[in-house]
Structure 1
Amino acid sequence: MLPATEVKAVVFELDGTLVNTAEDVRFAAEEMLADLKLPSLNVDHVSDWLGDGLDKLIHRILSRKIDGLVPDPVFRLGSALFLKAYQRRNHVSAELYPGVEECLRQLTKDKVPMMVVTNQATSLANDLLIHLGIRNHFTQVLGKDALQEPKPSPDGLLEAALLLHIKPDQIMMVGGSVNDVNAARAAGCGAVCVSYGYNYGVDIQYSAPDAIFDSLAEFPAYLKDEKPRAVKPRSRRNKTATPPAKERR
């Protein structure tokens, strides 16, 4: 893994790193459950279930379990209802986290190539980035459907390296979950994380990224001089930095 000062490109996670989409997801989840005549969900759990793509999210919401599965007919109906509600919502509550615009503007000014690799569908990810006015900062967006395997597989980062004509270890992964860190380690990339990401309710420090930022506004300076960062523990429900058993590769 190269020092941060030798990084040639940056790959970002989308949800929970650049954009807060949790409120729109909660809205769509509640509408789906109402259409299915199922009890309302405790919305506090939803953000802990994000990060593994739409299919797993639907299974989790319908089963009320992070590793839950529902019968295929139920999943298919629920998925259609959720997507319809989510698209009708039109990202009304989606917002960039503080410091994101500043970070992207500075990296663009510094001519650092940037891509997005997400477990969300490519079309939905592009639509969200366009809606928030930041799609122009990224050379390409790779969603779950564009890859053989989603994160924590390294496929997205390896594909990004091929498209950018650089070596994988010249990429810095910027995310917010253990899946992002594991994907980066498997690809041989550096990995830094935001402190506020969607990570199953677990503090990201237990995933041991190279650095943790409370705001991405700090990140461009990190690439230039690799300042060491002190990481303070945060109190969370769990301390095990592993995804659910059925998510692990």
Structure 2
Amino acid sequence: MHAILQGKRLIAFDLDGTLIDSVPDLAVAVRHALDDVGLPVPGEERVRDWVGNGAQVLIERALTWALSVAPGQALQATAYEAFMCHYAAAPNALTQLYPGVRTALHDLYKAGYSLVLITNKPERFIAPILGHFDLLPLFTHCLGGDSLAEKKPSPLPLLYMAQRLDTPPSASVMVGDSRHDIAAGKAAGFTTVALPYGYNHGEPIEHSQPDLIISSLLALTE
């Protein structure tokens, strides 16, 4: 195992942009939602820059792009519900695991680490997606962006998980792809590991100064 895992017991993972490339399915749902309310639809690469802060913010960014102004509450609510329905209908049609994810998670699980998932994606989508890839049994607990009163970059979900598993932050690691993951990890006192291939709004992840940057999750098991 990587030296950074020495003395660690808990490893928390982000989902979108860290374990899975979900943008293709998210982009389809966003396009359907905006089309439903009669607005122009964005391309996939534009949606890629909007992902990372949860579904409500994703739709708000899409509507603001389409309208050139911030959306009203009624339109936001309508488009959000449309998005949730479209995404729920096919959350795994185009989504893929990043290379090395399956092997790394299995190796870390076999090595005895407690693996948890902390994502800003709504909780209702976690089990269907992880189940689709046969990864759900590897995770002790999972939190979505709507599971608690706050989501990343707040440290609350990380501290909640550490307390639930009776593990001090000093023995815990946060693995993610965005500045929100790293900010949450630092604020919680977790060691932070970043992946450069995910969704970080076009900003190099090194700007967030994580403790370690790796190109693949496999690096944690070597």
Q: CA deviation at 1:111?
A: 0.9
Q: Does 1:28 align with 2:54?
A: no
Q: Which runs of 4+ in 1 moved over 6 A?
A: none
Give me the TM-score of the superposition, normalised by structure 1.
Answer: 0.84
The answer for the alignment partner of 1:192 in structure 2 is: 193
State the partner residue of 2:103. 102
The answer for the alignment partner of 2:9 in structure 1 is 8
Q: Does the Cα contact within 8 Å between 2:27 and 2:43 map onto a contact in 1?
A: no
TM-score by length of 2: 0.94
- Following superposition, the deviation at residue 3 of structure 1 comes to 5.3
> Which one-letter code corresponds to 1:187 in the other structure?
A
**Compared with structure 1, are the counterparts of its residues 3 and 17 closer, same or farther at alpha carbon in structure 2 (3 Å cutoff)?**
closer
Aligned with 1:55: secondary structure?
Answer: helix
**Structure 1 Cα separation of the partners of residues 37 and 181 of structure 2:** 33
Give 2:57's aligned residue. Answer: 56
TM-superposed deviation, 1:35:
1.4
Quote the offset at 1:123 in angstroms.
1.7
User: In the aligned structure 2, how far is the partner of 1:149 from the partner of 1:90?
Assistant: 24
Residue in structure 1 matched with residue 217 of structure 2 by the alignment: 216
Is 2:180 the partner of 1:179? yes
Q: 3-state DSSP class of the match of 1:49?
A: coil
Residue 149 of structure 1 deviates from its aligned partner by: 0.8
CA distance in 2, matches of 1:186, 1:123: 26
Unpaired runs of 5+ residues, structure 1, are: 222-249
Shift of 1:120: 1.1
User: What is the root-mean-square deviation of aligned Cα atoms in Å?
Assistant: 1.7
- Per-residue CA distance 1:123-170 (angstroms, 9 max, x = gap): 211221111110111001011222221100000110111111111121
Which amino acid in 2 is paired with 1:205? E
Distance in 2 of aligned mates of 1:95 and 1:44: 16
Matches within 5 A, 1:109-120: 109-120=110-121
| CA deviation profile, 1:77-128 (whole Å, cap 9, x unmatched) | 1011111111222411111100000101100110111000111111211221
Percent identical residues? 33
Q: Deviation string for 1:8-65 (max 9, x for gaps)? A: 1100000000011000011111111221121121432111111111111110011118
Corresponding residue SS for 2:213 = strand
How far apart, CA to CA, are the structure 2 residues paired with 1:13 and 1:82?
A: 21
Question: CA separation in 2, counterparts of 1:127 and 1:140?
Answer: 14
SS in 2 for 1:127: helix
Indicate if the aligned counterparts of 2:91 and 2:125 stay in contact, CA closer than 8 A. Answer: no
The unaligned stretches of length 5 or more in structure 2 are none
Give the SS at the match of 1:145. Answer: coil
2-structure distance, mates of 1:74, 1:195: 34
Alpha-carbon shift at residue 69 of structure 1 (Å): 3.4
Counterpart code for 2:103: E
Residues 1:141 and 2:142 are matched in the alignment: yes
Q: 1:79 to 1:165 in 2, by over 3 A?
A: same
| Inter-partner Cα distance in structure 1 for 2:105 and 2:155 | 23
In structure 2, distance between residues paired with 1:108 and 1:47: 30
Q: Any conservation in 2 of the 1:169–1:187 contact (CA below 8 Å)?
A: no
| Inter-partner Cα distance in structure 2 for 1:133 and 1:142 | 18
The one-letter code sitting in structure 2 at the alignment partner of 1:51 is: G
Output the CA distance in 2 between the equivalents of 1:33 and 1:144.
22
CA–CA separation in structure 2 for the residues paired with 1:21 and 1:90: 8
